[in-house]
Amino acid sequence: MKNLLVIYFLFFSFLSFSQTSDQIIAQLITKINLVKDYSVKASIKADIPMIKILPVNATIYFKQKDKFKVVTKGIAILPKQGFTDVSNFLSKKGSYVCVDGGTKVLNGILTNMITVIPTVENSEIILAKLWIDTKRKLIIKTDLTTRGSGSVTIDYQYAAQVAYGLPDQIIFTVDVKKFKMPKSVSGNVNQSNAKTSQKKTGTITIKLSSYVINKGISDEFFKKKN
Amino acid sequence: MLVRNTYNEFIKIIAKPRSYIGLGVLTALIFVILFAMKADGSSFISFVTSSFEQTLTFNGNILNGNLIAFIILQMLIVHIPLLVALVTGDLISGEAAMGTIRMLATKPISRTNIVLSKFIAGAVYTLILTLWLAFLALVVVKWMFGTGDLIVLNSNGLIILQEQDIMWRYLCSFFVAYLALLTVSSLSICLSAFAENSIGPIVSTMGIIILFTIIGSMDVTVFDSIKKFLFTTHMASWRSFFEDPINLKDIWQSILILILHNILFVVIAVLKFNKKDITS
Amino acid sequence: MDGPIIEVKNLSKKFGTFEAIKDVSFSVNKGDVFGFLGPNGAGKSTTIRCMLSLIAPNSGTIAIFGKNLANHRTQILKNIGCIIEKPDFYRYLSAEKNLEMFARISGRDSSKKEIQEMLEFVGLDGRGKDKVKGFSHGMKQRLGIAQTLLHKPDLIILDEPTTGLDPQGIIEVRNLILRLKTEQQKTVLLSSHQLSEIEIIANRMVIINKGKSMIEGSVDALVNEQDLLLQIDVSDHQNAMKAIELEFPALHVKHLHGAIIEIALEKEMVPKINYFLVNKGFSIHSLEPKRKLEDFFMKIIQE
């Protein structure tokens, strides 16, 4: 009897926890959908092997579901995946399953780790691990494995725009194993040694401030070239 | 008398149609590049950033005047030296072919002065060509494509230089580029002192540049010791101004070697021309 | 300046193994029109080029205006005007521009007015702005003379100046040279194949052959040492020859061709022969002295 009660308790705990994963994701999507569009000032600092670039200021524009534009006087480097892909991926209900991964404390915040596995073929994201602050409905960390761009880890920090779930700092850690400089591309006959990157990862830190949220951005704006 | 004869040399260069061929071809080449960039510059940018595009995106005005000016400067390796040699290779041998060297050499002006005035005129022509290149690359191109940060690819990776940090680099690099072209000019004039026709010195100059460039690019141990002394190895040293950090020691070494080559070519030409029997 | 204006001593030059000139010596006095004679390949151009420092001799000395050429080249060349073979100019420049450029480095500034006057002097007025590439050979030769004289040199060296000129051109050049001598007291060294010109213009000459100077001296003295050759177109030339040989046994008579006979004699004998033949009833159709210099020249170079 006692064993039956234990089994019964574990079964319903599991059942209630699985539901919680989907619910958590659903709550997350609801929060994400609060933001129809935004613009934000960004300071982008890239620390990537084989790339030398000073911090760059830019303005980032976003509009649901996946319109994204970066306006900068200079040249800004951003990861190919990770900016809008997570919210876009999560918004497609029914195209993934969620698996509970337990809890973890990250930077003093208790998070639930949920693994999201796409169920559709040809999804660019093969696997997504999310560490979610369930209390505030915020993603603290994401670990994306993509088909064409390798892995990218994203760490989020929040401050002023917690209510909208918009971070004030994002740190991308990208996979740079594949970077290789061919000799002939450089065009400098005086530098004959081809180099390959020694480090396996690089980081891009984006500090975000002065959000302008839900003020309306036309679709035409995203089509126009800078 | 050196000043007077140099003035005469300027008059001759200005009057010769081939002097304008160099400027015309340079202008045409640049506008071909500009047209290509306007039409399909994004393909070129993909070529530059292809190694990174799997993981990263590059946002902003990449295809701007600064990048195109850089592409244009790359032509220094082969194309512009030919345009320089086309005029300067003819300075002594062209007169021998025409017969006017005979008239010139019977004037009360030393053979050394005759040769030096040609070197000076050649240097000024090369300077005009370089300044025209600089004007087209830094002014006209920027007017057409705007300015922005510069993305440079070398074998160490990508460097992105900020707009406000670029102009001084270009000015320095054009100075070194001029020194490189001046070396080509001096070489062709030196070879011209040995010839009695125009084509020989021009073809020989280009042949030497191509040969030395090939030797300089081969990863063969036997050539390692001589590479640093070849002037072609240092013709591309203008690119060093687009590194971060800039290796000043290497740049100064290149400048010194180019200057020494210029002096060597002048000395050889003066010695040869002084001893030459003018029988044409 | 005392002494000769040009003094060449033992001048030699080899090109590889070929000895172009060997021990050539001669001197030119102030005011001379000096003829420099020799067949093709004799070494005339080589000698003149040595004098103008176009070629470095292997041995020998050249002194011009009393100064050694090797040590005073620039100073000497300031006072020399020359044409070597055909004058060459910058074809893409005008006649005026060419003269300006050469004047600029000739050691004496020439104004635009002087250039215009010189163009007029050589018969090229109105053609100053035309590019030289459109000039005929004769026009280039005139321009060459203009270039030679523009900076008012004391010594003029002309290497085959009448080559390629038409008869009128030849006469004009000859007259110009004479004017330079008589009106401007210039010294002229003239190399030419036109023996008649040398005979007419030059007062002194040297004959050079196979790289060696053969004989030097006054034209009159050298030429007049030789007999006059008189060619007579006479009726019944055979009997005329016999009659002359009988009357004047010292004279050598030969038949040239047709009715023309040739007699070598002194100038004073010409009227006597004429009188004798007429008196003997022979008809004289023409009486012509042959150019002696040509004969003298051929004799020298065949020695």
Residue B122 has pLDDT above 50, yes or no: yes
Per-residue pLDDT, averaged over C11-39, amounts to 90
pLDDT, chain A, mean = 82
Asked if C106 is an interface residue toward chain B (Cβ–Cβ < 8 A), one would say: yes
Task: Report the percentage of chain A scoring pLDDT > 70.
Answer: 81
Per-residue pLDDT, averaged over A46-59, amounts to 91
- Backbone angles phi and psi of C131, in degrees to 5: -70, 145
- Quick one: closest CA in C to B9, which residue? C101
Asked if C70 is an interface residue toward chain B (Cβ–Cβ < 8 A), one would say: no
Per-residue pLDDT, averaged over B262-276, amounts to 96
Residue A225 has pLDDT above 80, yes or no: no
Number of residue pairs across B and C with CB atoms under 8 Å? 81
Q: How far is C243 from chain B (nearest CA, A)?
A: 57
- What ipTM was estimated for this complex? 0.82
Number of residue pairs across A and B with CB atoms under 8 Å? 135
Q: How far is B26 from chain A (nearest CA, A)?
A: 20
Closest by CA to A155, choosing from A174, A140, A145, is A140
User: What pLDDT band is residue C166 in, cutting at 50, 70 and 90?
Assistant: confident
**Three-state secondary structure call for residue A215:** coil
Residue with tokens 């994401």: A142
- Chains C and B touch each other (3 or more Cβ pairs < 8 A): yes
Instruction: Determine, yes or no, domain membership for B137.
Output: yes
Report pLDDT for B78: 66
User: What pLDDT band is residue C189 in, cutting at 50, 70 and 90?
Assistant: very high
pLDDT in tens, A79-130: 888 777 888 888 888 888 898 888 889 888 889 899 999 888 888 888 999 9
pLDDT in tens, C21-33: 999 999 999 888 8
- Chains A and B touch each other (3 or more Cβ pairs < 8 A): yes
Asked if C101 is an interface residue toward chain B (Cβ–Cβ < 8 A), one would say: yes
Per-residue pLDDT, averaged over C187-192, amounts to 89
pLDDT in tens, C247-303: 998 888 888 888 899 888 877 788 888 899 999 999 999 888 765 666 667 766 666
CATH class of C226-302: alpha beta
The topology (CATH level 3) of C6-218 is Rossmann fold (3.40.50)
Q: How far is C82 from chain B (nearest CA, A)?
A: 8
B107 vs C15, C93, C105: nearest CB: C105
Residue A51 has pLDDT above 60, yes or no: yes
pLDDT in tens, C83-94: 988 889 999 999
Closest by CA to C63, choosing from C54, C53, C75, C51, is C51
**CATH number of the domain at A2-218, please?**
2.50.20
Query: What is the span of the domain harbouring residue B247?
Result: 2-275
**Chain B contacts of A57, Cβ < 8 Å?**
none
Instruction: Determine, yes or no, domain membership for B246.
Output: yes
Q: How far is C276 from chain B (nearest CA, A)?
A: 57
Instruction: Determine, yes or no, domain membership for B267.
Output: yes
User: What pLDDT band is residue C1 in, cutting at 50, 70 and 90?
Assistant: low
Q: How far is A107 from chain B (nearest CA, A)?
A: 27
Boundaries of every domain in chain C: 6-218, 226-302
Report pLDDT for C252: 84
Residue A16 has pLDDT above 70, yes or no: no
pLDDT, chain B, mean = 90
**Residue that wins the pLDDT comparison between B41 and A166:** A166
Does B59 sit within 8 Å of A58, measured CB to CB? yes
Instruction: Determine, yes or no, domain membership for B222.
Output: yes
Does B149 sit within 8 Å of A176, measured CB to CB? no
Distance between CA atoms of C61 and B51, rounded to whole angstroms?
75
Report pLDDT for B47: 74
Asked if C49 is an interface residue toward chain B (Cβ–Cβ < 8 A), one would say: yes
**Residue that wins the pLDDT comparison between B248 and A8:** B248
- Quick one: closest CA in B to A196, which residue? B156
Report pLDDT for C294: 67
Which of B243-247, C122-126, C129-133, C134-138 has the highest mean predicted lDDT (pLDDT)?
C129-133
C55 vs B99, B108, B277: nearest CB: B277
Report pLDDT for C291: 55
Does A50 sit within 8 Å of B163, measured CB to CB? no
Distance between CA atoms of B277 and B265, rounded to whole angstroms?
20
Residues 6+ apart with CB under 8 A from B185: B84, B85, B88, B119, B122, B123, B125, B126
Whether A131 and A139 have beta carbons less than 8 Å apart is answered as yes
- Quick one: closest CA in C to B109, which residue? C74
Closest by CA to B278, choosing from B123, B96, B151, B152, is B96
Report pLDDT for B85: 93
Per-residue pLDDT, averaged over C8-25, amounts to 91
Instruction: Determine, yes or no, domain membership for B280.
Output: no
Q: Measure the N-to-C terminal CA separation of chain B; round to a whole number of Å.
A: 24
Asked if B247 is an interface residue toward chain A (Cβ–Cβ < 8 A), one would say: no
Question: Residue C94 has what DSSP assignment?
Answer: B
Does A74 sit within 8 Å of B56, measured CB to CB? no
Whether C103 and C151 have beta carbons less than 8 Å apart is answered as yes
Does B108 sit within 8 Å of C77, measured CB to CB? yes
Report pLDDT for C226: 58
Total domains, chain B: 1
Which of A151-165, B250-264, C113-127, C164-178 has the highest mean predicted lDDT (pLDDT)?
B250-264
Put simply, the chain A residues between 97 and 156 with a CB less than 8 A from any chain B CB are 148-150, 152
Distance between CA atoms of C44 and C21, rounded to whole angstroms?
9
Q: How far is A35 from chain B (nearest CA, A)?
A: 24
- Strands C204-209, C33-37: pairing kind: parallel
Report pLDDT for A192: 43
Instruction: Determine, yes or no, domain membership for B33.
Output: yes
List chains adjacent to chain C, taking adjacency as at least 3 C-beta pairs closer than 8 Å: B
As to burial, measured by CB atoms within 10 angstroms (0-12 exposed, 13-18 middle, 19+ buried), residue C155 is buried
pLDDT in tens, B162-206: 999 999 999 999 999 999 999 999 999 999 999 988 899 999 999
Does B11 sit within 8 Å of C97, measured CB to CB? yes
Report pLDDT for A193: 47
pLDDT in tens, B103-117: 999 999 999 999 999
**Chain C contacts of B277, Cβ < 8 Å?**
15, 49, 54-56
Task: Report the percentage of chain A scoring pLDDT > 90.
Answer: 32
Length of chain C: 303
Whether C20 and C38 have beta carbons less than 8 Å apart is answered as no
Q: In B106-238, which residue ranges form alpha helices assigned H by DSSP?
A: 111-135, 141-145, 167-192, 199-217, 221-227, 231-235
Report pLDDT for B49: 78
Report pLDDT for B266: 97
pLDDT in tens, A156-206: 999 988 988 899 999 999 887 766 665 544 444 444 444 555 667 889 999
**Chain B contacts of A195, Cβ < 8 Å?**
155-157
Per-residue pLDDT, averaged over C165-193, amounts to 82
**Residue that wins the pLDDT comparison between B79 and B164:** B164
Report pLDDT for A12: 52
Per-residue pLDDT, averaged over C114-122, amounts to 89
